[in-house]
């Protein structure tokens, strides 16, 4: 074991840095070292000598390895202390900043809408995403074979008459049946699902925020005043609004609401398609049939309802051109918010 003795002797005389000690380790304990070759030749020794020689060799080799590790650690500590004294390492410097998460843009938009309606006295009402055909269509004045059902590309489940809701309007029936005959003023946010071709403007899942107010003297003027105030609070006190007649099975009369384009101030641009107006929601007075299904007598109660796509509003506010960005988890997009 002369090689081990040479290794101990050279290590005892070593005043090297860690690189030199690593070279010593490879020299005496590496794969091609004399010690390794000697250990591999033990099998050729006579059996009576093999055991004693193997034990002695392993003991000496392990001792040299432990000593090399100890010397390496001492050198590392010495280099660290020297670097600290010389100022190469300033332990008083702040650590690396930890990247903080942020709210998703859809969450930011929803919270902004929540805040506006909360200030106006509306409460948030959560409803389920898996609905029956009756709640999603029939109780909203769309009985079987009604042509309006063709406007909804519905996801059907394997359970008969159980579907993924195509809009948040079924929550109106749940809320009315829960609170009847008390007055209601709520918003119903949530995810909706439609079997549509995915494109820059459409996705199979999307957020909606439904609104409902029911009472004994709710009028169309209340609807227009509420939504006009909502637009001013969301887009600025000087924004103009307009209502256009439309048709929805669950409201009568029905309307679409537009706001003056906040990108071009109504002059016409690519965002508003040169019209000067941006459509943001649909609305109307709750149909008497819907009131009856909710438990209210339309002879005594009336109400208004509205529905909006918050992602569409966010897209208009920030000129986002593709709705698919909201669900792709692309940090280049998300970090802009």
Q: What residues does each domain of the chain span? A: 2-85, 105-334
Coil/strand/helix, residue 150 = helix
For residue 129, what are its two tokens? 């995403």
The predicted-structure confidence for 211-225, as pLDDT tens digits, reads as follows 999 999 999 999 999
pLDDT at 281 over 60: yes
Residue 313 pLDDT class (50, 70, 90 cuts): confident
Tell me what percent of the chain is helix, strand and coil, each rounded to the nearest 5: 45, 20, 35
Q: Is 324 exposed, middle or buried (0-12, 13-18, 19+ CB in 10 A)?
A: middle
pLDDT at 53 over 70: no
The predicted-structure confidence for 127-177, as pLDDT tens digits, reads as follows 999 999 999 999 999 988 888 888 888 999 999 999 999 999 999 999 999
pLDDT for 292: 96
The predicted-structure confidence for 27-39, as pLDDT tens digits, reads as follows 666 666 666 666 6
pLDDT at 3 over 80: no
* CATH 3.40.50.720 fits domain 105-334: no
Question: What does the mean pLDDT of the chain come to?
Answer: 84
Cis peptide before 224 (omega within 30 of 0): no
């Amino acid at each position: 074991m002369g090689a081990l003795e040479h290794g101990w002797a050279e290590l005892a005389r070593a005043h090297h840095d860690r690189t030199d000690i690593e070279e010593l380790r490879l020299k005496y304990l590496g794969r091609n070292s004399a010690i390794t070759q000697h250990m591999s030749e033990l099998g050729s020794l006579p059996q009576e000598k093999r055991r004693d020689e193997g034990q002695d060799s392993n003991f000496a080799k392990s001792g040299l390895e432990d000593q090399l590790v100890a010397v390496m650690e001492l050198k590392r500590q010495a280099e660290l202390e020297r670097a600290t004294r010389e100022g190469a390492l300033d332990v008083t410097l702040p650590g690396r900043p930890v990247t903080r998460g942020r709210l998703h843009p859809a969450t930011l938009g929803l919270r902004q809408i929540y805040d506006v309606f909360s200030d106006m006295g509306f409460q948030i009402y959560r409803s389920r995403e898996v609905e029956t055909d009756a709640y999603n269509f029939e109780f909203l004045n769309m009985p079987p074979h009604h042509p309006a059902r063709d406007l909804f590309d519905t996801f059907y489940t394997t359970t008969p008459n159980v579907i993924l809701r195509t809009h948040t309007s079924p929550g109106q029936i749940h809320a009315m049946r829960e609170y009847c005959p008390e007055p209601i003023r709520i918003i119903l946010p949530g995810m909706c699902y439609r079997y549509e071709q995915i494109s820059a403007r459409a996705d199979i899942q999307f957020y909606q925020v439904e609104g409902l107010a029911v009472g004994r003297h709710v009028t169309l003027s209340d609807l227009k005043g509420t939504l006009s105030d909502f637009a001013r609070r969301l887009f600025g006190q000087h924004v103009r609004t307009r209502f256009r007649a439309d048709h929805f099975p669950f409201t009568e009369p029905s309307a679409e609401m537009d706001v003056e384009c906040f990108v071009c101030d109504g002059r016409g641009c690519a965002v508003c398609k040169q019209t000067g107006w941006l459509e943001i929601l649909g609305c109307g007075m709750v149909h008497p049939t819907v009131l009856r299904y909710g438990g209210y007598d339309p002879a005594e109660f009336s109400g208004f309802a509205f529905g909006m796509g918050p992602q569409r509003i966010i897209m208009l506010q920030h000129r986002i051109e593709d709705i698919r960005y909201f669900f792709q988890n692309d940090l280049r997009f998300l970090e802009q918010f």
